[in-house]
């Protein structure tokens, strides 16, 4: 599957009405994903997770999301069924713990829309930290970048940055929580991390002094 950038249009916890309280962006590259959901009301993290996307079946489309990193600390995989709506959006249905209901298992409906990536270098990748220390995931699709960081006894941290081709610089969209040790491209003042054009899936690479595994990498 080609690298994909998606936004969430709405979420519905049945039987309540649908709404969208967040600014949600998801990167999918290869079999991995990064999902960052920011509350519009106060720009705090509603939910942030990253891990592996496993296709269970294609007809109907059923996907298991196995989160290695999860800001809400959920350990069970999320399984969703996907149906294409007449306008091209995708309806995801399933059951999962609902934070607003004390983590009660609740049926949900989410509507997703694929959007064009921010213009930038024709690369897409997702990295996962290796070794000791807080777990960190980094993801890029062209001119879009996200980074999530968890850790023992530490607050969760997230970054979302976008490349401005006209200004030839990265703009910080969100910088939330404890982001020490969560790499920023914008802070470097350059277009990308050192040698990222040469990365290959399965490689162990060094980003700002820490090693990461290249979970997914594609040239676009």
| DSSP sequence for 29-76 | ETTEEEEEEEETTT--EEEEEEEEEEEEEETTEEEEEEEEEETT---S
115, 18 contact by CB (below 8 A): no
Minimal CA–CA distance to 66: which of 83, 82, 91, 49?
49
Q: What is the pLDDT of residue 103?
A: 86
Is the same domain home to 17 and 106?
yes
Taking the C-alpha atoms of residue 32 and residue 125, their distance in angstroms, rounded to an integer, is: 9
Q: What is the pLDDT of residue 186?
A: 95
Is the same domain home to 150 and 77?
no
Name the domain count of the chain: 2
Containing structural domain, residue 136: 123-219
Is the same domain home to 88 and 132?
no
Is the same domain home to 92 and 165?
no
First to last CA, the chain: 12
Taking the C-alpha atoms of residue 146 and residue 158, their distance in angstroms, rounded to an integer, is: 7
Give the end of a domain, one of 85, 115, 145. Answer: 115
Is the same domain home to 74 and 156?
no
Is the same domain home to 20 and 40?
yes
Give the end of a domain, one of 67, 90, 115. Answer: 115
Is the same domain home to 55 and 135?
no
Burial class (CB in 10 A: 0-12, 13-18, 19+), 43: exposed
Q: What is the pLDDT of residue 156?
A: 92
Q: Say which CATH number the domain at 67 has.
A: 2.40.128.320
Is the same domain home to 195 and 139?
yes
Q: Say which CATH number the domain at 152 has.
A: 2.40.128.310
Q: What is the pLDDT of residue 133?
A: 84
Q: Give the bridge partners for 57, in sequence order.
A: 62
The predicted model scores a pTM of 0.95
Is the same domain home to 110 and 143?
no
Q: Within the chain, which residues score under 70 in pLDDT?
A: 152-154
Is the same domain home to 40 and 90?
yes
């Amino acid at each position: 599957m080609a690298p994909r950038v998606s936004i969430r249009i709405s979420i519905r916890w049945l039987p309540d009405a649908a709404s969208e309280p967040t600014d949600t962006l998801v990167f999918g590259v290869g079999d991995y994903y990064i999902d960052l959901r920011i509350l519009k009301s106060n720009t705090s993290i509603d939910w942030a997770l990253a891990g592996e996307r496993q296709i269970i079946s294609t007809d109907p489309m059923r996907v298991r999301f196995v989160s290695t990193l999860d800001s809400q600390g959920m350990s069970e995989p999320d399984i969703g069924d996907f149906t294409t709506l007449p306008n091209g959006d995708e309806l995801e249905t399933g059951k999962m713990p609902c934070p607003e209901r004390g983590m009660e298992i609740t049926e949900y409906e989410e509507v997703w829309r694929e959007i064009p990536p921010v213009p930038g270098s024709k690369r897409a990748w997702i990295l996962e930290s290796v070794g000791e220390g807080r777990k960190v995931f980094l993801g890029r699709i062209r001119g879009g970048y996200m980074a999530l960081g968890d850790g023992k006894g530490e607050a969760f941290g997230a970054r979302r940055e976008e490349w401005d081709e006209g200004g030839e610089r990265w703009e910080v969209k969100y910088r939330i929580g404890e982001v020490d040790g969560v790499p920023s491209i914008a802070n470097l003042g350059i277009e990308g991390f050192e040698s990222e054009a040469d990365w290959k899936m399965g490689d162990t690479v060094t980003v700002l002094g820490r090693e990461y595994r290249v979970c997914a990498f594609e040239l676009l």
